[in-house]
Amino acid sequence: MGIRLRTKGTSYGVKLPENKLTQESPIEPIPLPQKVIIPLHQNIGAPCQALVKKGQKVLAGQKIGDSERFVNAPVHATISGEISAITTVINPPTGQPVAAFVITSDGADRWVELEPPEEPEALSVKEILGKIRGAGLVGLGGATIPTHVKLSPPEGKKIDTVILNGCECEPYITSDHRVMLEYGEKILSGLNIIRKVLSPHNIYIAIEDNKPDAIDHLEKLILAMGFKEDFKIVPLKSQYPMGAEKTLLNTLLGREVPIGGLPLDVGVVIHNISTTKAIHDAVFEGKPLVERVVTVTGAVKNPKNLLVRLGTPLRNLIDYCGGIDGKADEVILGGPMMGISQPDLDFPVTKGTGCVLVKESSPIRERDCISCGRCLKACPMHLMPTMLAKYAKAGRYDDCKKFYIDNCFECGTCAYVCPANIPIVQYTKIAKSELIKRAATR
């Protein structure tokens, strides 16, 4: 058996126009910004406590926020300079306002002393996890789960399979694709660290077959670096939302994560390509997470893949790419399917920002459901989306629960295939937040 397995696919989901405008564009560092904005809460866990004060000088890579809580990742200064203000921004993962440091650059880009370990191979699991947490790593695919948490399965949960997620199934986004082509060695080294921590039986690298160059490249590297059949590459049919954890592990392994559960409940841990590269940086180079690759695409003059210091305002990225092209009026963080509209261009790039998509907003011309059933066929969670939308519209949120609304991860496939243009995801989002509100008041 070779290291490349047979291509797998699923009947659920939908084939989308790819619009990968930037797949041939090498990663390009953007000039350092005059100021960065660093929110103190950039993960799905607890917010950080401030470690520095206004007026204080900081170095790039210096830890400026941390917490005692386990589910948390610290934040670092990403340029050298002075803490010039403390402001408030809206944290995309939670929608809550959080405090943020504004650092004004001194232009010198002075760094803290990085402390790469002398013998990285000899580190214990505990030391590795310490370094990963210390570097502030979170899932860079957008979920922003602290990486050390995902690498610490609870007592009694045996992880037998690790999947490296290089699907990048959303249209437009190419940041993971470029990272695979340009940082392949670091990805495999990071994956080797994950193997050491979790010691799974199987390790798969899942890549959609619209990126044959990445598949070939990683296959060659696996052989060149001597990992042989320890790491197996699984090409996947390009079909949205293949890269969603639950869809991916179902396609690969035929397992289903219980409703409300996590992949680790069925013995699987899934890490994103860029996260795995950052694991290598953290463990081998002692480098904290201060930059990431962001695809800037859509209606900008020159779409690019940029290497960006976290905290850089979105405006800088768009300007660097030649500005907005035409009459586009909407900026989306993430892809066109699951991304969130961001009206404020002074908002910073955060750990979960893989893509900045500029586009023309489209008015919704919603018509009535004709019960064609296309959304049922497409839903990767095997839900009945139109029923959820109907009940949500009528305010019957308890009925939404009977149709398993909690299983929905808002991929938007249903709304995409709907011939009546019903914004089904918006309705389910409203129903979910209403259900949360109700649960809180009870």
Partner 1 sequence: MYIVVLALMFPTIAGIYLFGYRTLLVMAVSIAVAVLTEYGVKKLRKRPFVMDGSAILTGLLLALTLPPTIPLWMVATGSVFSIAIVKEAFGGLGHNIFNPALGGRAFMMVSFPAEMTSWVLPRGFVTDAVTTATPLAEGFVWQLDRLELYKAMLLGNIGGSIGETSALLILIGGLLLIALRIIDWRIPLAYIATVALFTFALGQDAIFHVLAGGLMLGAFFMATDYVTSPITPKGRIIFGVGAGLLTVVIRLFGGLPEGVAFSILMMNAVTPLIDRHIKVKPYGLKKEG
* Residues that bind partner 1 in the complex, under the rule CB under 8 A: 246, 250, 256-259, 261, 367-373, 376, 380-384, 386-387, 403-404, 407, 420
CB of 169 to partner 1, least distance (A): 17
Does residue 347 sit in helix, strand or coil? coil
- What token pair was written down for 315? 């405006």
Distance CA 198, CA 385 (A): 37
Question: Residue 252 or 357: which CB sits closer to partner 1?
Answer: 252
Q: DSSP 3-state assignment of 323?
A: coil
Nearer to partner 1, 98 or 420 (CB): 420
CB of residue 419 vs partner 1: minimum separation in angstroms?
A: 10
**Sole residue written with tokens 């489209």:** 362
Choice between 85 and 257, CB closer to partner 1: 257
Helix, strand, or coil (residue 17): coil
Q: C-beta of 108: minimal distance to partner 1 in Å? A: 52
Shortest distance, position 425 Cβ to partner 1, whole Å: 17
Q: Which is nearer to partner 1, 1 or 259 (CB)?
A: 259
Q: With CA atoms as reference, report the closest residue to 172 among 338, 364, 31.
A: 338
**Phi and psi at residue 440, to the nearest 5°:** -70, -35
Q: Which is nearer to partner 1, 199 or 371 (CB)?
A: 371
Tell me how far, at minimum, the Cβ of 335 lies from partner 1, in Å: 22
Phi/psi of residue 299, nearest 5 degrees: -85, 60
Its sign, for the CA torsion 109, 179, 183, 43, is positive
Q: What is the closest distance, in whole angstroms, from the C-beta atom of residue 153 to partner 1 in the complex?
A: 19
Nearer to partner 1 among residue 69 and residue 367 (C-beta): 367
Long-range own/partner contacts, residues 381-387 (CB < 8 A, 24 or more apart): 381/246, 381/407, 381/408, 381/409, 382/12, 383/407, 383/408, 385/414, 385/415, 385/424, 385/428, 386/414, 386/418, 386/422, 386/424
